[in-house]
Structure formats: C-alpha cells, structure tokens
C-alpha cells in the first residue's frame, strides 16, 4: 500500500469472504476480481 487506508462496509467484507469460499479463489485472484467488479459499477 502507498500509505492510503480504505474503508469498507461490513457488507463488502462479508461479500468478499463469501466469494472467496464459494469459488475457492486465492486472495490475489479474489482481489483482482473485486477490483474488476468495482470498475464496472
């Protein structure tokens, strides 16, 4: 990180963990997927 802190809602964190366990994604792949989803929004 470059010194910036991000605030995430409880729902965002729960969704992140749910996707990780449903799709059995490693953390790095999961982060790329979440970044992609947020770019679509």
Count of domains for the chain: 1
Residue 4 lies in a domain: no
pLDDT value at residue 4:
60
Q: For the stretch 13-27, what's the b/e string if a residue is b when 16 or more beta carbons lie within 10 angstroms of its beta carbon?
A: eeeeeeebeeeeeee
Instruction: Grade residue 25 by pLDDT with cuts at 50, 70 and 90.
Output: confident
Average pLDDT, the chain: 76
> Is 14 a member of any domain?
yes
User: Is 1 inside any structural domain?
Assistant: no
Q: What is the arithmetic mean of pLDDT over 15-33?
A: 80
- Higher pLDDT among residues 33 and 1, named by residue: 33
Under DSSP, the state recorded for 24 is T
Structural domain contains residue 5? no
- Single out the residue of 2, 10, 19 nearest to residue 35, CA to CA: 19
Residues spanned by the domain of 25: 10-40
Is 3 part of any domain?
Answer: no
On whether residue 2 sits in a domain, the answer given is no
pTM: 0.47
């Amino acid at each position: 990180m470059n010194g910036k802190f991000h605030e995430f809602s409880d729902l965002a964190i729960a969704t992140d963990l749910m996707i990780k366990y449903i799709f059995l994604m490693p953390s790095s792949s999961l982060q790329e997927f979440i970044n992609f989803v947020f770019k679509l929004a």
